[in-house]
Chain A
Amino acid sequence: MAYKNFILVCGGTGCESSRSDEIYRNLIKEAESLGVSRDVQVVKTGCFGFCEKGPIVKVLPSESFYVQVKPEDAHDIIAEQVIKGREVTRLLYRKDKKTETTKLEEIEFYQKQFRIVLRNCGVINPENIDEYIARDGYKALERVLFEMTPEEVIAELKASGLRGRGGAGFPTGMKWEAARKAPGDIKYIVCNADEGDPGAYMDRSTIEGDPHSILEAMVIAGKTVEANFGYIYIRAEYPLAIERLKIAIAQAKEYGLLGKDILGSGFDFDIEIRLGAGAFVCGEETALLQSIEGKRGMPRPKPPFPAMKGLWGKPTVINNVETLANVPVVLTRGANWFSSIGTDKSKGTKVFALTGKINNSGLIEVPMGTTLREIIFDIGGGIRNGKKFKGVQTGGPSGGIIVDKDLDKPISYETLTALGSMMGSGGMIVMDEDDCVVDVSKFYMTFCVDESCGKCAPCRIGTKQMQMLLDKITRGQGEEADLAKLEQIGKAMTKASLCLLGGSAANPTLSTIRHFRDEYLEHIHDKKCRAGKCKDLVVYEINPEKCIGCGLCARRCPVTCISGEKKKAHVIDSSKCIKCGECFTVCKFGAVIKR
């Protein structure tokens, strides 16, 4: 019995937290109670990427793209669409109130995207191995087990130009070759799923939406470098991703795609999950390996690289989630196809988690060489509330700010590094005129102070010193000499730190000083924060000429420091004011002034 309709419900973390699981269950319940459960298949998929408008529900074959669906909408979707064949127009995605867009392909958010890593996200049910297999899943593994030699696999990866997506961009083929050539009878494959940048969720969504692609790539890596065991190191705060991985591993074992004698080839490979406690430094590969070994997660000097001496001193391939998700596609579609996408030195695509002051925040995948302007203004739909764009932070606490004049440079590992930022794992935080660069730098530096493991002095002491200097400036006590100190410490940390955490911790500060020196100086000399974020530098006042004495601000003030008679101008008591800005936001007459 064939289904007439298919309802795909987003089961990514974003949509699950806005009750998509309840939508899923309601749809099934409604279909049963209305007697059409044989006509419609309800599928829970991975992330559609359009998280801004979640929860997302897509109905096929009519291609109805429903946004911000609520559990109680399930009845209408079943009763109207499945039974009567009418779209539930009130739920369709609209760009604004006038236009009506229905199809996924017509939504601007998806126009410039090209999905390799996210090929199955939002398309298949991640908890069903059959659907992965139907979409050419485990086909690359077939080739690797029965048709190709390990040397051919490495040659194909090298020719494809695939580079590590964890941020540093080391060529994957070379990494595998080094591990294959390294002497040793026991070798390991490790998947780095310890995604820790604030605002980044690419790897989590990839695993949630398509866990089998990671497993397949790990078995391929195992066969290629002659390893029989793999670990997936994932942080414990990704419960949904862990759950889906567990299901996927169990299904692959049942089908004989993991375990002993895979598909009768005589090759054995097993995978276990290791949960990390959420330390940022454990995303650094040597610290991650220590953590798997049960030790405290701290980096060690390289070389020797993990490919020579990794887990328990054995040769180890350690790849990031996104890198691995590319591997099966490279091997099924071929190196030529893959290397035709992207730029000269950066091939393929990159997944970004687009967040911050942007209209369409979400998960996107674009070919390398796409410009930041296209990402922010076309895919991202521009800045929220018509505000002015200030900068975009790529690479999280390790990256730097990129300003308007550089937005037209094509994205690649090299261009981002040249701009004083880095590819990083793919977090992209957009800032507008209401964000203060000093405050943002302080935020990232505080993050690094908390996350520094403390093993090497440049990072342990440098991050703390820089954070104290930044804090001083935001409190209006900065001196011009502080900027030189910040730059000096930052450069020393970049050179002398043991690992990239310290080596890149100064990037946000150094790049903002370079691009927004005037704003730093304004904080120092004029004791002014133009964005109004640095609370110690902001004073709220009421303009008596504009104030009509409605009393709204006084009622909203959490510390009741606004007083005045009805219909007469009110006054703010600055000594009690906590500078929350509530009075400024609520005043309808523009009478509250921020200085």
Chain B
Amino acid sequence: MAKMTLDQLRALRAQKQEELETRNVEGKDIQLIVGMGTCGIAAGAKQTFDAIVAALEKHKLANKVVVRQTGCMGLCYVEPTVEVIMPDMPPVIYGKMTSDVAEELVVKHLIEHSLLDNHIFDKPAIDIAKH
């Protein structure tokens, strides 16, 4: 890159800040956890993960949400599964979350605060490490 002007520096900072934001976990109180056991990956969880990240960027939510991956959640019959934990909403595990549903999840659950009725399969099991 050639020498920058003040405006170019500011634009670069804004752009890079967004990129770094996906790495940051502090102050993000919404968690999307994608089940990526063998069953999940076979059912397309990787594509779902990518689609979720893309949808979050599209709706400018990347700075509020942590997307994690985890192992098998036990609901192998409805993979891919996504667990959603956020304030003011009950914790939910959604099933059959193929990549084409990712944007619907982001818009309905995270923005409009309504559940995706067709995809609810369970609520998270009690975490024995905490109780």
Contact = CB atoms under 8 A, between A and B. Distances in A.
Contacts of B68: 61-62, 85
A2 B16 contact: no
Q: Give the bracket for the number of chain A residues in contact with chain B.
A: 35 or more
Interface in A253-306: 254-257, 259, 261, 263-265
Interface in B17-40: 17, 19-20, 22-23, 25, 34-38
A390 B25 CA distance: 41
Interface string B48-59: 011001100100
A134 B66 contact: no
Interface in B72-108: none
Contacts of B36: 84-85
A130 B57 CA distance: 20
Q: Give the bracket for the number of chain B residues in contact with chain A.
A: 35 or more
B9 interface: yes
A134 B16 contact: yes
Interface in A132-160: 133-139, 142, 145-146
A138 B57 CA distance: 26
A264 B70 contact: no
Contacts of A85: 34-37, 68-71
Nearest to B129: A100
B3 interface: yes
A155 B25 CA distance: 36
Interface in A65-108: 83-86
Nearest to B52: A2
A84 B38 contact: yes
B23 A6 contact: yes
B1 A142 contact: no
A142 B25 contact: no
A3 B57 CA distance: 13
Given A133-B13, A142-B6, A256-B3, A60 B25 contact: yes
B5 interface: yes
Given A60-B23, A84-B38, A264 B5 contact: yes
Query: Which residue, B10, B17, B69, has most C-beta atoms of chain A within 10 A?
Result: B69
B43 interface: no
B6 A263 contact: yes
B56 to A, nearest CB: 9
A61 B66 contact: yes
A2 B57 contact: yes
Contacts of B2: 256
A263 B4 contact: yes
Nearest to B10: A142
A86 to B, nearest CB: 5
Interface in A236-265: 254-257, 259, 261, 263-265
Query: Which residue, B2, B13, B17, has most C-beta atoms of chain A within 10 A?
Result: B13
A2 B23 contact: no
Contacts of B34: 85
Nearest to A254: B1
14 contacts: A2-B22, A2-B53, A4-B50, A4-B67, A85-B35, A134-B13, A134-B17, A134-B20, A145-B6, A146-B6, A259-B3, A261-B3, A263-B4, A263-B5
Q: List the 4 closest A-B pairs by CB distance, nearest first.
A: A256-B3, A134-B16, A85-B69, A85-B36
